[in-house]
Amino acid sequence: MSDQTRERERGREPWVSRALLPWAGLVGIYLLVLTSLHPGDVLVGGLLAALVVVATRRIRGGGVIHRRLDAHRLLGAPALVVRIVADTAVGTWRAVRFCLRPDAASTGLVEVPAGSRSGSGLAAWGFITGLAPDELVVEIDEERRVLLVHVLDADDPDAVQARHADAEERQGQVFG
């Protein structure tokens, strides 16, 4: 019986996938960003990647911190991506309209209830909201469970809140 088979039977992955593959991926990304294969750059990338791999292993305590993906989440992801693209297109159109006729709308801040979003759900929601140029998450007040969003068209805060409540339902299917 090989060492890898014994490791898998004990519920652990071989050391290659736990440390070497993430290290190689990080070095590769570093070198792609630099667009360089200079030996000094490879050395610095290798050292930085090793630090990141070791630090994340210590932070995680060697355990697995991800949760399993189930079929429901996987099936909801393509629909979410399509919806994000559509929302980004609509948000871009709103920004273009605002630039052409800035007096037609009033910018402002709108408080949006966070609802039942988890921590990862809030992070994903903030990122996705910022993709479109017409809205930006300014602050998350975790005590009041309210998100402060800057919108180009703040004339109807109820419509903005309703739009984000709908987004919460769609994103909740994927992010939980």
Q: Is residue 66 part of a domain?
A: no
Per the structure, the complete domain to which residue 12 belongs is given by: 3-60
Tell whether 54 and 82 lie within a shared domain. no
pLDDT digits (tens, 9 = 90+) for 101-160: 877 778 889 998 887 777 777 777 888 888 888 898 898 887 888 888 999 888 888 988
- Most confident of the ranges 1-15, 68-82, 101-115: 101-115
Domain contains 140 = yes
One domain for residues 11 and 43: yes
88 and 169: one domain?
yes
Residues 24 and 78 in one domain: no
Q: In terms of domains, do 159 and 78 share one?
A: yes
Q: Are residues 115 and 78 in the same domain?
A: yes
**Is residue 147 within 8 Å of 111, Cβ to Cβ?**
yes
d(CA 44, CA 134): 40
Please give the residue that has the higher pLDDT: either 70 or 21: 21
Same domain, yes or no: 130 and 52:
no
Number of domains in the chain: 2
Same domain for 34 and 107, yes or no, is no
Same domain (yes/no): 113, 35: no
- More confident: 150 or 3: 150
Model pLDDT, residue 79: 76
| Range with lowest mean pLDDT among 2-11, 32-41, 108-117, 156-165 | 2-11
Specify the pTM: 0.55
Q: How confident is the model at residue 3 (pLDDT cuts 50, 70, 90)?
A: low
- pLDDT tens for 50-65 read 888 887 776 555 444 4
What is the pLDDT, as a whole number, of residue 62? 47
Residue 106 lies in a domain: yes
Determine the pLDDT at residue 36.
Answer: 85
Mean of pLDDT over the chain: 77
